[in-house]
Amino acid sequence: MANNNIGPKRLVVGAGYGMRDWLAQRATAILMAIYTVVILVLFLTGTRFTYESWVGVFSAQWFKLLTFTVIVALLYHAWVGVRDIWMDYVTHSVVLRLILQVGTIVWLIACAGYAAQILWRV
């Protein structure tokens, strides 16, 4: 009997998230790194570090959208990482894993809503 678990015709099982999640983690990390550099440049080249100067930076609509895009990228980055933790380490109970994943989703959506509320108050 032939062993069908090796070579290009092997049966691959599992969640199948591998490459897509790996790329998503890298893309979101690059976006967050670029945004961090932008914030550092603004901080280091500024003359005054007051509340009013930061309100001026964040008052532009394009900067609010950029910031919120980075926040969404951060939340997706966190979701991929935490979801993988739940899938890898909570193996004894599917119900517990589902509760933890739903709780994580609810928490991340609440964080996105709170971030949007803060950004558009300025």
Give per-residue pLDDT as tens, 81-115: 999 999 999 989 999 999 999 999 999 999 999 99
No. of helices (H) and no. of strands (E), the chain: 4, 0
CA–CA distance, 35 with 115 (Å, rounded to integer) = 16
- Predicted confidence (pLDDT) per residue in 12-49, tens digit: 555 566 788 889 999 999 999 999 999 999 888 877 77
pTM: 0.80
